[in-house]
Structure formats: structure tokens, C-alpha cells
Amino acid sequence: MLFGIMSATLLLEIFLLYPLEVGFANAFKKLHVEGDAELAENTFRLGFKNYSHIVLGILHMAVLTLLWTLLLIIPGIIKSFSYAMTPFILVDRPELSTREAIHESRRMMKGRKWDLFCLVLSFIGWIILGIFTLFIGYLWLVPYMQTSFAAFYQNILEEEKVEMAASFSTAAPRPEPVKVREFEPSNHDDYAPKEDWTV
């Protein structure tokens, strides 16, 4: 009985909650970037648009995070930050495989995991306060957090665009101009015979 309940809960989380979580995150990204406030519609549309791709991607990410956490807790936490952009990438770039989406998240988060950690840490006080309000405060906190994570992802994209534009605009160093030596006519006396040719 207990095993059946646990299995049903796990299946519900994988096949229903995973797409909803991805859709929810991307709905707030759409709100942040485009000002589109249709959160409920966008949550279902973006979460279930590429259903199998999203489910497999989040499941892949969850398994990898779990394996790292079983190895050691700290590496598991670090890896969870490395994979944090995967839900956005799965929607923005559906042409990528789940493995490629996770690798892209790792690339994007390289050198930025500490920034995301500090962002999450800034919510700790609000999270504790939300518990004392019997989780009612989460009605305001969760949208605020999701918008912040969406803005974090969007900022990475903007930074990479600027870096790419800067790399293309950097002109190759110009070679130093070659100095052209001016021709100085020789003294015709130099060609005169040096010996006395008179007989």
C-alpha cells in the first residue's frame, strides 16, 4: 500500500509537476522579458508544448543531481546550481537534446554559481518568514523568486551577446606601414674613370 502511494506520487511529480515547474519558470521569464502577464496560460502552454522533451530533460537533471548528492552533499548542491538554467534552455532551445541542454546550462553557469547562490541566499529571510505565516506569504514570494531567476537567466544571455559583439568588433592589429626609402641619385662622378686614360 505504502509502496503504491509512493510510486503514484513519484509518477505524478515526473509527468505532471515537472512540466508545470518548467512552464511556471518560463512564464515568469516571459513576464520579465516581454511583459506578458498571462501566467496561467503560459505555464501550461510552455510546460506542455514539448512535453516528452521537457519531462526527459528535467528527469535527466534530477537523476544527475541525486547521484551527486548521494556521493557527497556539497557536490550535489554545486551541481544543482550548474543545472539551474536547464528549465529555461529546454523551452528556449528545443532543438537541443536533454544532454546538450544540461551541458549548455553547465557552460552558462561556469563562473556564475556563486552569484546564483548569493541570489538564493537573499531569499532565506523571506522563506523563514513565509513559514511563520503558514506559507501564505509564499503566494507573493514564489512569483518574486521565479521572476528573479528568470532575470538571472536573461542577464546571462545579455552578457554573452555583449561579449560576442565585442569579440567581432575588435579589429585585427594593423601592420606597421613599410617605410619607402627615397631614391637618392648617385653622384655621376662616382662613375667616372678613376685612372688617367690620357695617352
- Taking 60 as the threshold, does the pLDDT of residue 196 lie above it? no
CB 189 within 8 A of CB 145: no
Q: Cα separation of 157 and 155, whole Å?
A: 5
- Tell which residue, 153, 126, 118, has the closest CA to residue 142: 126
Q: How far apart are the first and last CA of the chain?
A: 136
Query: What's the rounded Cα separation, in Å, for the pair 58 and 86?
Result: 8
d(CA 79, CA 28): 23
Domain ranges of the chain: 2-170
Distance CA 95, CA 16 (A): 22
The predicted model scores a pTM of 0.74
Q: Which residues contact 117 (CB under 8 A, 6 or more apart)?
A: 81
| Cα-only R_g, the chain | 32
- The number of beta carbons lying within 10 Å of the beta carbon of residue 11 is 10
Spatial distance between the Cα atoms of 161 and 21, rounded to a whole number of angstroms: 27
Least confident of 66-70, 156-160, 192-196: 192-196
Q: What is the dihedral of CA 90, 94, 95, 97, to 10 degrees?
A: 40
pLDDT in tens, 8-63: 777 787 888 888 899 999 999 988 888 887 888 889 899 898 889 999 999 999 99
Q: CA distances (Å), 99 to each of 59, 81, 118, 143, in order? A: 11, 16, 27, 28
Angle at 29 between CA 126 and CA 114, to 5 degrees: 55
Q: What is the mean pLDDT of the chain?
A: 84
Give pLDDT tens digits for 153-176: 999 999 999 988 887 776 555 656
Give dist(CA 58, CA 60) in Å, integer: 5
* 185 pLDDT tier (thresholds 50, 70, 90): low
Specify the pLDDT at position 199: 43
Q: In the structure, what pLDDT confidence band is assigned to residue 193 with cuts at 50, 70 and 90?
A: low
